[in-house]
Amino acid sequence: MTRQDYIEFILDHYNNPHHKGKLDDPDILVNGGNPGCGDIVTIFVKVDDNDRIVEASFDGQGCTISMAASSLLMDKIIGKTIAEVNAMDYNELVEELGREVVQSRMRCATLAMDTIKAGVRAYPSHKATGKKLVAPIILSETFRGDELG
Ligand code: FES
């Protein structure tokens, strides 16, 4: 794919987002924020009895890259288990978005993934309480550390 192909891929997700909007009665609701710009993404997830994600959506206002990455991420997490989402590699998302295009905007590209990882990491212990997980705002970059190659 050329740089232009990646830009068009990002713009298509931005203009025609997949799974955008709120989910009623989610099992996980997490808000993630980027301290630098103040953008916030909220992710809603429904999980079945086998800890598999059966529905997911995102909401929020942000830059083109953060919203496109959120849309792409929803496609990728639906059908995965909580453990599989926890083990997802940031680099996979970055490669799909086009590393060359997003490398100077990593906070934007990884905001949604940071946010869902915060949710799935908290979910197992929270599930034991029998309540829905509603997490306060989590600042991006909390989880990925130096995972980005
Ligand atoms: Fe805020 Fe991209 S500028 S997430």
Q: Decide: 46 and 56 in contact? Cβ < 8 Å.
A: yes
Closest CA to 100 of 109, 113, 87: 109
At 55-86, the pLDDT tens digits run 999 999 899 999 999 999 999 999 999 999 99
Q: Given CA atoms 12, 13, 17, 18 in this order, what sign does their dihedral have?
A: positive
Q: Say what the alpha-carbon torsion angle 10, 14, 19, 20 is, to the nearest 10 degrees.
A: 150
Task: Pick the residue whose CA is nearest to atom 2 on ligand 1.
Answer: 108
pTM across the whole model: 0.92
Taken in order of first residue, the domains within the chain and their CATH numbers are 3-139 (3.90.1010.10)
pLDDT band for position 95 (cuts 50, 70, 90): very high
Q: Note the pLDDT of residue 137.
A: 67
Q: Is 115 in the pocket of ligand 1 (CB under 6 A)?
A: no
Q: Is 82 in the pocket of ligand 1 (CB under 6 A)?
A: no
pLDDT per residue over 2-49, tens digit each? 999 999 999 999 999 999 999 999 999 999 998 888 899 999 999 999
Q: Give how far Cα 23 sits from Cα of 2, 31, 55, 89, 128, Å.
A: 35, 14, 8, 25, 22
Q: Which atom of ligand 1 is nearest to the CA of 140?
A: 4
State if residue 10 touches ligand 1 by the CB under 6 angstroms criterion. no
Average confidence (pLDDT) over 101-112: 94
